[in-house]
C-alpha cells in the first residue's frame, strides 16, 4: 500500500570514474529493475568511435551480479551499493521519497523538540524544518486567526520570529508599523500639497507678469489714441517719432496740416499687441508697423 506512494524512479546518480578511469557512468534503480549505463572517454583512436553501453537487470539479477556490484562500489562507493541493494530487496525509505508538502503535514504533528531532532538527521529534513512554510503552519496552528497585519509583519521578520514572539510584543510591533504607515502617507500628502501650491504660485506670478505687461502696452496705446503724452519713462516714446498731440501745428513749408487718421492708431494698437504676445523683438527696436508709420508721416 505504501509502495504506491513512491515514484517509479527510486534512486538515480551519475558521475565519472576514479583516475585513471575517465569514463562517465549513470546508475538508476526503479521499482522493477536496475539500470547501469556508461560512456567511454579515451584519447585512443581505437575508442574514438565506441558507443555508450547499457545494462538492465531485474532486482533479483542485480542482487546476484557480483561483477556489477564491484563496478558500482568502485565508481560510487560502498554506501551507494548497500543502499541500492536494500532497495532491490524491498526495503524502501518512504520518508525520503515523499513530497515536501506531504512531509510538512507529517512534521506539523510533531512537538518542537522532535522537530529539532528530525532536522539533524539529513539535509532535506533540516531545510524542511527551517522553512517558512513549516513555521507558517505552526503559527496558524497555535493561533486561531492570523490577521492581515500579522501576515504582512511575517513577510518582514519571518514566521519563525512570529512564532517565538509573545503576543504583547507582537501588538507593539504592529502598532509601530501602523504609525510608520500613517506618517508615510501624511508625508506624501503634504509633499503633494506643497508641490501643488508651488505650481499655483508660479502660474499666478506668470499670469500677473503677462497681464501687467499687456496692461501697460494697452495703456500706452490708449494714451496715444487720446493724444496724451506717455512721458519720458515709457519705451513707446522712442519707438515712434510722431507727435502724439491730436492737432499738431504745421511747420513752415510743410503741407501736413491734416491730422493723423484714427485708423492709423488702430493699426499701431494691433502691432503693439502682436509684438507683446510674440515677444520676438526687443523692447527698444522699431516694429514694422511703426516703420510704415514713419514712411507715411514723412
Is the distance from CB of 205 to CB of 246 less than 8 angstroms? Answer: no
With a cut of 80, say whether residue 284 has pLDDT above it.
no
Residue 15's region, left for phi above 0, alpha for psi from -120 to 50, else beta, is left
The residues, any chain, with a CB within 8 Å of residue 192's CB and separated by 6 or more, are: none
* Angstrom distances, CA of residue 205 to CA of 210, 216, 277, 279: 9, 16, 17, 18
pLDDT in tens, 82-97: 999 999 998 887 777 7
Give the pLDDT confidence score for residue 184 in this predicted structure.
72
Between 243 and 145, whose confidence is greater? Answer: 145
* Angstrom distances, CA of residue 278 to CA of 81, 108, 113, 224: 93, 79, 85, 22
The residues, any chain, with a CB within 8 Å of residue 81's CB and separated by 6 or more, are: 69, 72, 73
Residue 158's region, left for phi above 0, alpha for psi from -120 to 50, else beta, is left
pLDDT in tens, 76-132: 999 999 999 999 998 887 777 778 888 898 888 888 889 989 899 888 899 999 898
Mean pLDDT of 14-38: 93
Q: At 21, is the pLDDT very low, low, confident or very high (cuts 50, 70, 90)?
A: confident
Give the pLDDT confidence score for residue 37 in this predicted structure.
96
Domain range summary for the chain, segments of one domain joined by +: 2-96, 99-165, 192-245+258-297
Between 276 and 201, whose confidence is greater? Answer: 201
With a cut of 80, say whether residue 7 has pLDDT above it.
no
Mean pLDDT of 36-51: 85
Q: At 240, is the pLDDT very low, low, confident or very high (cuts 50, 70, 90)?
A: very low
In a 13 Å sphere around the CA of 34, the CA atoms on its Cβ side amount to 24
C-alpha cell at 67: 561483477
Give the pLDDT confidence score for residue 189 in this predicted structure.
67
Give the pLDDT confidence score for residue 163 in this predicted structure.
82
pTM equals 0.44
* Per-chain mean pLDDT for the chain: 73
Amino acid at each position: 500500500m505504501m509502495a504506491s506512494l513512491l515514484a517509479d524512479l527510486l534512486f538515480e546518480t551519475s558521475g565519472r570514474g576514479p583516475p585513471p578511469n575517465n569514463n562517465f557512468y549513470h546508475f538508476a534503480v526503479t521499482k522493477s529493475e536496475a539500470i547501469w549505463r556508461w560512456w567511454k572517454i579515451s584519447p585512443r583512436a581505437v575508442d574514438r568511435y565506441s558507443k555508450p553501453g547499457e545494462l538492465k537487470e531485474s532486482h533479483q539479477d542485480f542482487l546476484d551480479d557480483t561483477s556489477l556490484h564491484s563496478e558500482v562500489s568502485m565508481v560510487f562507493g560502498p554506501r551507494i551499493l548497500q543502499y541500492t541493494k536494500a532497495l532491490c530487496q524491498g526495503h524502501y525509505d518512504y520518508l525520503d521519497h515523499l513530497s515536501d508538502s506531504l512531509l510538512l503535514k507529517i512534521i506539523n504533528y510533531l512537538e518542537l523538540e522532535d522537530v529539532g531532532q528530525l532536522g539533524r538527521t539529513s539535509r532535506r529534513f533540516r531545510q524542511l524544518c527551517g522553512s517558512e512554510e513549516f513555521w507558517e503552519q505552526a503559527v496558524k496552528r497555535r493561533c486561531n486567526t492570523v490577521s492581515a497585519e500579522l501576515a504582512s509583519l511575517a513577510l518582514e521578520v519571518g514566521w519563525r520570529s512570529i512564532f517565538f514572539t509573545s503576543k504583547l510584543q507582537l501588538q507593539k510591533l504592529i502598532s509601530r508599523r501602523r504609525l510608520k504607515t500613517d506618517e508615510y502617507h501624511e508625508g506624501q500628502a503634504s509633499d503633494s500639497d506643497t508641490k501643488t501650491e508651488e505650481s499655483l504660485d508660479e502660474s499666478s506670478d506668470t499670469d500677473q507678469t503677462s497681464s501687467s505687461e499687456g496692461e501697460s502696452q494697452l495703456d500706452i496705446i490708449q494714451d496715444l489714441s487720446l493724444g496724451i503724452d506717455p512721458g519720458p519713462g515709457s519705451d513707446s516714446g522712442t519707438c515712434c517719432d510722431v507727435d502724439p498731440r491730436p492737432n499738431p501745428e504745421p511747420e513752415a513749408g510743410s503741407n501736413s496740416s491734416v491730422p493723423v487718421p484714427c485708423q492709423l492708431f488702430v493699426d499701431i494698437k494691433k502691432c503693439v499687441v502682436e509684438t507683446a504676445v510674440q515677444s520676438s523683438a526687443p523692447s527698444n527696436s522699431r516694429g514694422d508697423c511703426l516703420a510704415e508709420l514713419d514712411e507715411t508721416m514723412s
